[in-house]
Structure 1
């Protein structure tokens, strides 16, 4: 009985960290996972219900199974949403935006396994799965040059 309870609690906790299939919602937890898995971290800051470029990126790139599958090979994916429809989540994640000095959305920040930022960019620069994945690969190669 205790084993079942522990399993159910851990399952619930892992669901709480996800923002859609393949996405987490906690940067610190993602960095821990990245360290365990020898991956980098990609954090997308979005305004899912009010930001037109964010909505476009979600529809055209971030929600695509091929993006999540391919990007997850080298990155732990994190989504930090600032939705107008959820004031509590918006307030919580606005603090995260401030902590990482994010001035607007859609912004992507890339972190190494130690939680050190190595790049940031406006997500909507790369409007297709292919171009976004190419940029992620380019940024990883560039990071390893220094």
Structure 2
């Protein structure tokens, strides 16, 4: 019995450590700057973090798994949250609302993959593809999103 508890604690600790390794940006301008410097695409995660069941499920089944944590090094992660129980800072709420309109996000979760393209002083976000929740864990989700990733 003690071995079972020890294994459970070990694997739970791994899951917790994996989730902590993710660095989510919330400021789109900072994320664009990081993307431009690193030449990595942006992964825009439109979520209702405190009320959207599918968003929470996606976090648990995919984003908190070691396979996703390793894969996520290929992108700049951006969380665009639309919570109901807490209030965002006004500028962050305005930014998220504008991006929701630009990408015509109708439901949550929606994940857009984009690549910033500089056009003089203006930056355009070239759309690479989008998805949402995909059943089957990180393997199935990554199978879908890898189709959008630049080679």
TM-score by length of structure 1 reads 0.71
Paired residue total = 122
Distance apart, 1:135 and its partner CA: 2.0
Task: Please provide the CA RMSD for this pair.
Answer: 2.4
User: 1:108 & 1:41 partners in 2: Cα distance?
Assistant: 10
2:137 matched to 1:106?
no
User: 2:26 & 2:39 partners in 1: Cα distance?
Assistant: 19
Distance apart, 1:133 and its partner CA: 1.8
Distance apart, 1:68 and its partner CA: 2.3
Note closer, same or farther for the CA distance 1:120–1:49 as it changes in structure 2 (3 Å cut).
Answer: same
Structure 1 unaligned spans of 5+: 1-18
Cross-structure match for 2:127: 117
User: Tell me, what secondary structure is at the counterpart of 1:103?
Assistant: coil
Structure 2 unaligned spans of 5+: 1-19, 118-124
User: Tell me, what secondary structure is at the counterpart of 2:50?
Assistant: coil
Cross-structure match for 1:10: none
Deviates more, 1:125-134 or 1:19-28: 19-28
| CA deviation vs aligned residue, 1:94-141 (integer Å, no higher than 9, x gap) | 3431233211110011101422112122x2125411122222222125
Residue 139 of structure 1: which of 120, 145, 148 is its match?
A: 148
Question: Contact 1:54–1:124 (CA<8 Å) still a contact in 2?
Answer: yes
User: 2:139 & 2:77 partners in 1: Cα distance?
Assistant: 17
Cross-structure match for 2:138: 129
Which aligned pairs between 1:91-102 and structure 2 lie closer than 5 A? Answer: 91-92=93-94, 93-102=96-105
